[in-house]
Chains A and B, each alone.
Chain A
């Protein structure tokens, strides 16, 4: 099977961190803050959409607010499969990094 891409991994991690009420805007804000890079809407949406289709994420609709011009919110949360995928990618990372930690700290 294919591993998560880096982007997907970051987005998924952001959702996990935000626990309840993760949606495009706050996911993007969080990513901007953590990565110190500007994430475009598309950069966030595409992995979200793809992971929904792959069944790594599930979505539910929230109530609209004034700030959004009266539009509903689509919230995301990880599925079991999503968590598994994260665990897998972490395992791969660790396996690959094993014994090479000094590279990252120099």
Chain B
């Protein structure tokens, strides 16, 4: 027999070695090698190899079972010890679990919110290749305006081969829909090109997409709207009366999901707006939103450039003026939404998403820090256990595992409470955030992220105790009593400082957001918005406007009546290409103005100050035709001295003199700077779709005035339901989103502070407990209770003060960045920082002093008796 040794495959041997029982590895390896060699000699190389491999494979199940068995055995022991610890120290466990539960619940709620925000528009099948055309206006420093000129879509489809489809969209104003005895206002309507269905995934339930819009009066409605009007009947072919026009239902689509940035109830043909005088369909009016579907893998930047070129070729005045087009990915639309709001569009905000994610992490971290602090503070109690475990043979990694196990157990318990919290808080949170979130335990993604949160919490909060406690040397621990250690207390200090820095940061943030909201709501807009009621001009109200006005003015409770051609707090119509006497051609090309068509008395009713010239007046018959009033911003842009009396021309040819200059006022959200504006008299008979009638009513007699308005309305419009709004409320609503963010932030800040205080409370009680003897001796020697309270609270106050110093600069820069989204912002005053500092200090002291007082008032006999 050849004595030559044949070596089995190295990798397999290596793996096999890993699996073999530790004590006998070397013998077993030898045995395997021997058998391998025997087979090698007998049946050859291949058989030996196969045998060797098969050995590896058949070993695996037994190995796994072996491993799991021992893991479980040890795990069971850890769980038992952890459970005993929880029961033994009920107070600490309560603090830990409550803190973790609240922290996790916050975290989960916020993550659900964030997840929802991120899910927008992801349901479209071709989402990767859909883009929205937006424009950047260099001159005004506007970025991402969603308006585009009407002719752009067909032009780009023709000129750029990569463009597969384009669809234009415009919003409908509120319309009255009538079918049988069912009469409703419908707000959420869009005018769209049928190609919309080729681009987006809005499943069509009934009707044929190709032919839906064959007539201008055809409309497509959503499932829920079909249900509202027709119930069980087949909606196809039914005729709805839309403000006197007969619209035929030619299709039914599924309701757009809530996480679609496009929200609408019905859709009508683009032909429809041909009849509407208010809509400019030239290259100069940016009234439409354009969506496009590109071929796969086309670089959108190149197309963007081509778009601008197309517009340039077609002599779009704004583009000639420096505006440029750009493609925005559909997936970015929701979160990139700049503050250009149009009816029916859900807006998201990247900053809020980031802000909330950061807060979620903060709150969870604070809860984890509680856990770390309390477990290290009590380390002396656990030290003996660690010592003993090590003596009987546990190595460090096992102790580490044990403590991680313990923290994961605790976080699992906490997660059950967190789930209960989430379930019970969800309706409230939904109301607060205006979302429809729901806990779906069958959703793998939710369960997965939930478990992720639990595991993460366990790992973070267990990390420090695991590493710290496992480092104890058994000899030291078992021989002498361990103090909780210098090292430990340094870390504890850092942790408390860290915790409070986060809390103070959140307090500062909340204060500043509130201050900004307060600032916005109370900022002088420059005109009088109180006691003004407005009603949309509907039906034949436009035609009868003069009559209605006279009728209304007869009511003693109504002081003044006027009208405007659009809902000026949110809508803007703009134009460019003006000319004026003495104007520099460059200026003339660059100027663009917001059009505002008004009735007489507009300026008087809103208390707008005319700084030069005069308001429109019936005394000047020529005002009726063409006369203009500009605001100061416009005059400044025009660089015109002594403007009153100069001739002004709106293209193509509407010449008239400038009769007055009106003061700059904030007609729109304070996110935006005051824009140049032009006012002219407008015949309200034409303003049937968008116009509003404004009435100033006598303060204190509002209900009577409203009754009067309703009576007049009823006489003129037997069909349309009466509706009214208050101007000041409308302005408040412009900031609803901010208010929402503000109140959510408010709640979470409160919770973060609460959790921090829970931790501090636990720590303080622990410290007081450890110092009972010291306090006893001090008392015997004559220390007053007040002195002892100061002694015990002093250290904590110092920590909180240090936290302030850390939180202030971070807070300052973070808030400065946040406020940049407002054109008009409140100053970040020092008072906010001082207030936050005081608040944090007071809360911390209250928490600590409760324990301190308790300890200081204890009878020294109790604490010293057993010495």
Within the complex, what minimum Cβ distance (angstroms) separates B54 from chain A? 9
Does B33 have its Cβ within 8 Å of any Cβ on chain A?
Answer: yes
- Interface flags for B48-71 (1: CB within 8 Å of A; 0: not) read 000000010011001000000000
Assess the A42–B24 pair: CB atoms within 8 A.
Answer: no
Within 8 A of A (CB), among B46-97: 55, 58-59, 62
In the complex, A77 has a CB within 8 A of chain B: no
Q: Does B337 have its Cβ within 8 Å of any Cβ on chain A?
A: no
Q: Is the CB of B21 within 8 A of A71?
A: no
Contact A41 B5 (CB under 8 A): no
**In the complex where A40-B55, A49-B21, A49-B24 touch, is A71 in contact with B62 (Cβ < 8 A)?**
no
Asked if A66 lies at the interface with its beta carbon under 8 angstroms from chain B, I say yes
Chain B, 418-461, contact with A by CB distance < 8 Å: what is the 0/1 string? 00000000000000000000000000000000000000000000
Does B715 touch A at the CB level, under 8 Å? no
Question: Which residues of chain A come closer than 8 Å to B5, judged between CB atoms?
Answer: 66-70
Say whether, besides A49-B24, A73-B27, A74-B24, A42 and B33 are in contact (CB < 8 Å): no
**Contact present for B37 and A24 (CB under 8 Å):** no
CA distance A45 to B25 in the complex (A): 11
- Chain B: minimal CB distance from A5 (Å): 16
CB of B30 within 8 A of CB of A73, answer yes
Q: Which residues of A contact B26 (CB under 8 A)?
A: 71-72
Name which of B5, B31, B35 has the most chain A CB atoms within 10 A of its CB.
B31
Q: Which residues in A have their C-beta under 8 angstroms from that of B479?
A: none
In the assembled complex, which residues on chain B have CB atoms less than 8 Å from the CB atom of A68? 5, 30-31, 33-34, 37
Q: B3 at interface (Cβ–Cβ under 8 A)?
A: yes
Contact indicator B7/A23 (Cβ below 8 Å): no
Q: List A residues 58-72 near B (Cβ within 8 Å).
A: 61, 64, 66-72
Complex Cα–Cα for A73 and B35 (A): 13
A41-B3 contact, Cβ under 8 Å, with A25-B35, A69-B33: no
Q: Contact partner of A24 among B21, B31, B59, CB < 8 A? A: B31
Chain A residues whose C-beta falls within 8 Å of the C-beta of B34 in the assembled complex: 25, 67-68
Are A41 and B32 in contact, CB atoms less than 8 angstroms apart? yes
B27 touches A71 (CB 8 A): yes
Question: Considering the complex, which residues of chain A in the window 16-64 have a beta carbon less than 8 Å from any beta carbon of chain B?
Answer: 23-25, 28, 40-42, 45-46, 49, 61, 64
Contact of B3 among A49, A66, A74 (CB under 8 A): A66
Q: Return the chain A residue nearest B20 by Cβ.
A: A45
B754 at the interface (CB under 8 A from A): no
> Smallest CB–CB gap between A48 and chain B, Å?
9
Asked whether A74 lies within 8 Å of B27 as measured between CB atoms, the reply is yes
Q: A69-B5, A72-B26, A74-B24 are in contact. Are A40 and B31 (CB under 8 A)?
A: no
Q: A42-B62, A74-B24 are in contact. Are A67 and B3 (CB under 8 A)?
A: yes
CB-based contact A41/B28 at 8 Å: yes
With a CB–CB cut-off of 8 A, which chain B residues contact A70? 5
Q: How far is the CB of A15 from chain B (nearest CB, A)?
A: 15
- The number of residues on chain A lying at the interface, defined by a beta carbon within 8 Å of a beta carbon of chain B, is 21
Chain B residue numbers with a CB within 8 Å of A41 are 28, 31-32, 35, 55
Evaluate contact between B27 and A24: CB separation under 8 angstroms.
Answer: yes
User: A74 CA to B28 CA in the complex, in Å?
Assistant: 8
| Complex CA–CA separation, A71 to B25 (angstroms) | 10
Q: Chain A residue with minimal CB distance to B41? A: A67
Residues of A within 8 Å of B32, CB to CB, are 41
> Once bound together, how far apart are the Cα atoms of A24 and B24, in whole Å?
12
- Please give, as numbers and ranges, the residues of chain B lying within 8 Å of A49 by CB-CB distance: 21, 24
Which residues in A have their C-beta under 8 angstroms from that of B31? 23-25, 41, 68, 73
A72 CA / B29 CA spacing, docked (Å): 9
Residue ID in chain A nearest B33 by CB atoms: A69
B38 contacts across to A, CB distance below 8 A = 25
> Which residues of B have CB within 8 Å of A72?
26-27, 30
**Max chain A Cβ within 10 angstroms of own Cβ: one of B24, B30, B33, B58:** B30
Partner of A40, one of B3, B21, B27, B58: B58
Among the interface residues A24, A45, A69, which one has the most CB atoms of the partner chain B within 10 A? A69
Known: A25-B34, A42-B62, A49-B21. A69 touches B7 (CB 8 A): yes
What CA separation (Å) do A66 and B5 show in the bound complex?
Answer: 6
State the CA gap A64–B55 with chains docked (Å): 22
Provide the residues of chain A in CB contact with B33, threshold 8 Å.
67-69, 71
**Which of B29, B37, B59 meets A67, CB within 8 Å?**
B37
Interface residues of B in 207-231 (CB under 8 A from A): none
CA A53 to CA B49, docked complex, whole Å? 32
The residues in A between 64 and 102 inclusive whose CB is less than 8 angstroms from any CB of B are: 64, 66-74
CA separation between A28 and B28, bound complex, in Å? 13
Distance A70 CA – B27 CA, assembled complex (angstroms) = 10
Do A45 and B30 contact each other (CB < 8 Å), given the known contacts A67-B37, A69-B7? no
Within 8 Å CB of A64, what residues of B?
30
Q: Which B residues are in CB contact (< 8 Å) with A46?
A: 62
B764 to chain A, nearest CB (A): 53
Q: Which residues of A contact B21 (CB under 8 A)?
A: 49
CB contacts (< 8 Å) of A66 on chain B: these are 3-5
**Is there an interface contact between B27 and A42, defined as CB atoms closer than 8 Å?**
no
The residue among B27, B37, B38 with the most chain A CB atoms within 10 A of its own CB is B27
Determine whether the beta carbon of A28 is less than 8 Å from that of B35: yes
Q: Which residue of B lies closest to A23 (CB)?
A: B31
- B62 CB contacts on chain A under 8 angstroms: 42, 46
User: Which of A28, A40, A71 is the one whose CB lies under 8 Å from B30?
Assistant: A71
A-B CB contact pairs (8 Å), 24 listed: A23-B31, A25-B38, A28-B35, A40-B58, A41-B28, A41-B32, A41-B55, A45-B24, A61-B27, A66-B3, A66-B4, A67-B5, A68-B31, A68-B34, A68-B37, A69-B5, A69-B7, A69-B30, A70-B5, A71-B26, A72-B26, A72-B27, A73-B27, A73-B30
Q: Which residues of B contact A (CB under 8 A)?
A: 3-5, 7, 21, 24, 26-35, 37-38, 55, 58-59, 62
Q: A66-B5, A68-B31 are in contact. List 5 more A-B contacts (CB 8 A).
A: A46-B62, A67-B5, A67-B33, A70-B5, A71-B30
Closest 6 CB pairs of A and B: A71-B30, A74-B27, A68-B30, A24-B31, A69-B33, A68-B34
